[in-house]
Structure 1
Amino acid sequence: MKAVPSRPAVPRPPVRRPLRAAALCVAALLAAAPLAACSTSSAPGSSGASDDGKPAASSGGAGGHRTIKVVAAENFWGSIASQLGGSHTEVTSIIDNPEADPHDYEPTASDARTVAGARYAIVNGVGYDGWAGKLLSANPAAGRTALEVGGLVGVEPGGNPHRWYSPADVHQVIERISADYKRIDPADAADFDRLRNTFETRTLAPYDRLISAIRAAYAGTPIGASESIVSPLADGLGLRMLTPYSFLSAISEGTDPTAHDTSLIDRQIRDKQIKVYVYNSQNATPDIQRQVGEAEAAGIPVATVTETLTPAGASFQQWQVRELRGLKQALAKATGK
C-alpha cells in the first residue's frame, strides 16, 4: 500500500440553523411557486399514473425519446439516478454544493419550481431533509412518483438517516429507481435494464470490491468516529464502532454532547482502544477538532468522510471509492495488515 496522503486542513464547522427557519422559508415559497391545480402526489415509493392508467407525459428528448424530469433532494442520490436514467432522464439535484448543509437547507423559489415540474422525486427522509417533503406536498403534480429512501429501506423516524453510507441500502435504492423508471416509461424498459446492469456490474465494481476487501481483512476492528454518518458504513464494513451513538447523534444534529460521552471518547483515544478515527470534515466542531488532534498525537490514523459529494461535480462512485481507499489505508497502517 502507498503511504496515506496527508489529511486536508480541518475546515471551519458549518453553522446549523434552526429547522424552524427552514420551515418558514418553505412556507414563504408556496405563493411563489407555480402549483399544479386539482392534483395530488403519489405516495412515497409508489408509481404515479394519469387518469387513464398510463404514465403521465414527460417532455420530449433528443431523437423523439421521452425524457423523465427527475428531482433529487441531495446530489448523492441524484448522481445515481442520473446514471441509471441516461439520456431518458433530466436530473436536477437541489443540494449540489459541498458547503450546503442538507439538515437545515433553506429552499429557494427556483427549487420549488423544479419540484413542481418533476415527474419523479427522490428524497432521503428520516428527518434529514424535511424541507424536501414540504416542497413536494406544496407542489403536487398529477402522476408524479416519489421515492422516500428511509421508507424504502425500513428506517423509522428517529433512526439514522445517512442511508447513502450503507452499501446494502444503496443497492436497494438502485433497484427501486430502475424499477420506477420502467413503470414511468415502459417503452424504454430494456434500456433501463441495460443501464442498471452496467452501473451495478461495471461502474460500481471498484466500490463493491473495496467494501468486500475491507470487510474480509478488518471485520471486528474497533474504530471511533465523529458523528452518526459513519455508523451505516461501519456496519456495512463489519467494523466495531466504540463511540457512543448518543455522541455521534449529538454532533450530527448540532447539539452538545454530554460530558460523560466526551470523557469516554477521550479515554478511548488516550488508551488506544480504537485503531482508527473517522470524522466528517464538513462538520468539524471544536470538540471534533480536538479529538482529531488527540488521535493524531496518540498515533491513531485519521480518515475523513464528507456529507455530500466532494469535490463538487464528483460522481457517487468516485466520491465513495476515494473515501473507502483512505479508510482502507488507515486500517492497514493501524493494524499492519
Structure 2
Amino acid sequence: MTLIVPLTARTLRAMAGRLCGYVGLALVAALWPLASAHAAPIPVVAAESTYGAIAQAIGGPYVQVSSIIQNPNVDPHQFEATPQTARSVAHAAIVVMNGLGYDDWMRKMLAANPAPKRVVIVAAALDPALVMPDQNPHVFYDPRVGALVAQRLAALLQQADPAHAADFKRNLQAFEQSLRQVDGVVRQLAAQHPGLAVLATEPVYGYMLRQLGWRSLGDTFQFNVMNGTEPAPRVVARYEDELRQHRAALLVYNSQVSDPLTQRMRGIARQSGIPMVGVSEFAPPGMGYTAWLLSSLHAVQQTLAKGGR
C-alpha cells in the first residue's frame, strides 16, 4: 500500500530545509580538507644569502627563501641577473636587498617585474643613522642592521600569515637572543685590543670595526679597490708604507677578491709580520646570520692571538 502525503506548503518548506541541510553538510565535508591544510609557504627572495639566512631564521617552515647570490666567490658589484632570477623576483611576496648601490641589479629587476602587493625591504634604509658617513655599503656586518631586517620581516610575515604570528614572534626573539653572543664577543675583543689600528684591502669589515671601536687606515685605497678604480700612486705608496712600518696590527682582506694589487699588499703584510684574516661578503649556504658574524670575529680573535707567527 502506498502512503500519499499531501504536499502542503508546510511540508514543502520542511523538505527544502532538510535538503539544504544535507547539501550544507556535503559542502562542509568537501571544503574541510582545504580549510585544515596549511597555507603555501610565503615566497621570500633575498638579493644576498646573508639576508636570506635572516629570512629563514624568522620565517622557518612557513617561508620559501630564495637567495640570489650565495656563492662566496661571486662579486656582487659585477653580478648579472638571469631569467631564472627574474622569475623568482616576479613571484616574490617579500624581497630583501642591501641598498646603497650594492645590489642595483635588484632594483632594475624590481622595476622590470612590477607587482603592486610585493614588499621590498632595503636594509640600509631601515635606519639611515646607522650608515657610515662614507656610505660604506656593507651594512650587513652591523648586527643592529641585521636585527632591524629581522624585525621588519617578522612584522610583514605576521600580517601575511596571522595563523603563525606566534611562531614568527618566537623566532624573532630567538634571533635577537642569538645576537647577544655577537655583542659579547665584540665587547671581549674591544677590551683585549682597545683602539686597534687596522688596514683592509676593501671596506667590507668596516661596520664591524666600528662596533669594535677600532681605527680603519687606508680608506681611500679600500674604496678604490672596491669600486674597481686604480688607486693613485701616492695612495698605493702610503698604504705600502703603513704595512712596512707596522702601523697596523691587522690586515683584513676580502676573501672573495683576488687581484694582483691586493695579493701584493698581502705579500707585504706577510713579509712585515702583520697578521691577516679573510672575511667574506655572504653567509655560506646552511650557515645562520649570527654564526656567520661569530665566525669572522673568532677568526680575528685567533689571528690576533697568534700574532705574526
For 2:165, the aligned partner's letter is A
Deviation at 1:301, TM superposition (A): 0.7
* Partner residue in 2 for 1:30: none
* Partner residue in 2 for 1:82: 56
Contact 1:150-1:156 within 8 A present in 2 as well: no
**1:167-182 equivalences in 2 (<5 Å):** 167-182=143-158
Per-residue CA shift, 1:49-88, capped at 9, x if unaligned? xxxxxxxxxxx9x951452110011000001111111111
- Residue 120 (structure 1) aligned with residue 94 (structure 2): yes
* Partner residue in 1 for 2:15: none
Whole-angstrom distance in 1 between the partners of 2:154 and 2:190? 28
Deviation at 1:288, TM superposition (A): 1.2
Whole-angstrom distance in 2 between the partners of 1:252 and 1:84? 31
SS in 2 for 1:314: coil
* Partner residue in 1 for 2:261: 287
Contact 1:220-1:240 within 8 A present in 2 as well: yes
Per-residue CA shift, 1:150-207, capped at 9, x if unaligned? 2113149971111111222222222222222223323322111101111221x44433
Whole-angstrom distance in 1 between the partners of 2:191 and 2:146? 20
Per-residue CA shift, 1:100-142, capped at 9, x if unaligned? 2211211111111111110001111111111101111111223
- Residue 321 (structure 1) aligned with residue 297 (structure 2): no
Contact 1:127-1:158 within 8 A present in 2 as well: no
* Partner residue in 1 for 2:212: 237
For 1:135, the aligned partner's letter is M
Assess, with a 3 A threshold, how the Cα gap between structure 1 residues 278 and 104 changes in structure 2: closer, same or farther.
Answer: same
* Partner residue in 2 for 1:9: none
Contact 2:55-2:153 within 8 A present in 1 as well: yes
Deviation at 1:320, TM superposition (A): 2.3
Contact 1:94-1:111 within 8 A present in 2 as well: yes
Contact 1:126-1:157 within 8 A present in 2 as well: no
* Partner residue in 1 for 2:125: 151
SS in 1 for 2:102: coil
* Partner residue in 2 for 1:70: 44
* Partner residue in 2 for 1:25: none
Deviation at 1:334, TM superposition (A): 4.0
* Partner residue in 2 for 1:96: 70
Whole-angstrom distance in 1 between the partners of 2:39 and 2:167? 12
Contact 1:219-1:240 within 8 A present in 2 as well: no
SS in 1 for 2:137: coil
Whole-angstrom distance in 2 between the partners of 1:269 and 1:157? 25
Number of positions where the alignment pairs a residue of Structure 1 with one of Structure 2: 273
Assess, with a 3 A threshold, how the Cα gap between structure 1 residues 124 and 184 changes in structure 2: closer, same or farther.
Answer: same
Per-residue CA shift, 1:270-321, capped at 9, x if unaligned? 11110111101111321111111111111111111012224x4433233322
Contact 1:224-1:277 within 8 A present in 2 as well: yes
Assess, with a 3 A threshold, how the Cα gap between structure 1 residues 149 and 266 changes in structure 2: closer, same or farther.
Answer: same
Whole-angstrom distance in 1 between the partners of 2:252 and 2:193? 15
- Residue 255 (structure 1) aligned with residue 197 (structure 2): no
- Residue 275 (structure 1) aligned with residue 249 (structure 2): yes
Contact 2:251-2:275 within 8 A present in 1 as well: yes
Whole-angstrom distance in 1 between the partners of 2:180 and 2:238? 38
- TM-score using structure 2 length: 0.82
Assess, with a 3 A threshold, how the Cα gap between structure 1 residues 200 and 156 changes in structure 2: closer, same or farther.
Answer: closer
Q: Which moved more, 1:65-74 or 1:83-92?
A: 65-74
Q: 1:331 aligns with which of 285, 299, 304?
A: 304
Unaligned runs of 5+ in 1: 1-59
Assess, with a 3 A threshold, how the Cα gap between structure 1 residues 215 and 174 changes in structure 2: closer, same or farther.
Answer: farther
Deviation at 1:266, TM superposition (A): 0.9
Whole-angstrom distance in 2 between the partners of 1:288 and 1:318? 27
Contact 1:71-1:92 within 8 A present in 2 as well: yes
Question: Higher helix fraction: Structure 1 or Structure 2?
Answer: 2
Q: 1:216 aligns with which of 172, 181, 191?
A: 191
SS in 2 for 1:64: coil
* Partner residue in 1 for 2:281: 307
Which of structures 1 and 2 has the bigger CA Rg? 2
More RCO (CA 8 Å, sep 6+)? 1
Contact 2:221-2:239 within 8 A present in 1 as well: no
Deviation at 1:99, TM superposition (A): 2.1
Contact 1:218-1:331 within 8 A present in 2 as well: no
Deviation at 1:241, TM superposition (A): 0.9
Unaligned runs of 5+ in 2: 1-33
- TM-score using structure 1 length: 0.75
- Residue 187 (structure 1) aligned with residue 163 (structure 2): yes
